[in-house]
Amino acid sequence: MEIKFNIKGVVYGVILVLFIILGFVFIPKLFLDTAKPVDFTMVQRQSIPNKILDIMDKYEDQERALAVRLDDKIYVIVTRGDKEHGIEIDKITIDTIEEKTVMTVDITYKEKNKSYPFIVAETNLDSLPDKIQLNTKTEEK
């Protein structure tokens, strides 16, 4: 008994199977969020370390997020800049993008007549991130 193989068909079939397998492996990575949440606690005004307060004069008029290592703890500082709103940290996440550690800080601007120009949070991180992104949104009334 003689069996004939269509070599083109076999090659196309193998390529199709490889595409399907690779699709199941790589396509979910494109749509899944790989960022890990960071645990943090807000630091009360009277408990903020003096070294952080000393460097805040430089950044109070800017809207940004900073990370500082102090006494083996990593602190995240968020400044509101010249805005008249209060600020609140919603969440902090950390992710690895192109072999760099990127921290994302999500904040919400709240309606407050008198509020502080910055907030400080103590995190559970062991090392400083390579980059910090600040995502802002305004509280809906």
The answer to the question of residue 71 being in a domain is yes
Task: Please report which confidence band the pLDDT of residue 79 belongs to, taking 50, 70 and 90 as the band edges.
Answer: confident
Answer whether 64's CB lies under 8 Å from 44's CB: no
As a whole number of angstroms, the distance between CA 117 and CA 39 comes to: 23
Residue 135 and residue 107: Cα distance in Å, rounded?
6
Within a domain: 93: yes
Tokens 């910055």 belong to: 118
- Is there a domain that residue 8 lies in? no
In the numeric block, which tokens belong to residue 123?
A: 């995190």
| Residue 104 belongs to a domain | yes
Three-state DSSP at 86 gives strand
In a domain, 60, yes or no: yes
Residue 120 within a domain: yes
The pLDDT value given to residue 10: 86
Find the helix or strand (DSSP H, E) in which 84 lies.
Answer: none
Judge whether 66 lies within some domain.
Answer: yes
pLDDT in tens, 80-96: 877 777 788 889 999 98
Is residue 38 pLDDT above 80, yes or no?
yes
Between 114 and 87, name the one with better pLDDT: 87
Structure tokens at 21: 């397998």
Residue type (1 letter), 130:
D
Write out the residue range of the structural domain in which residue 49 sits.
36-138
14 found inside a domain: no
Q: What is the dihedral of CA 119, 122, 123, 124, to 10 degrees?
A: -170
Q: How many domains does the chain have?
A: 1
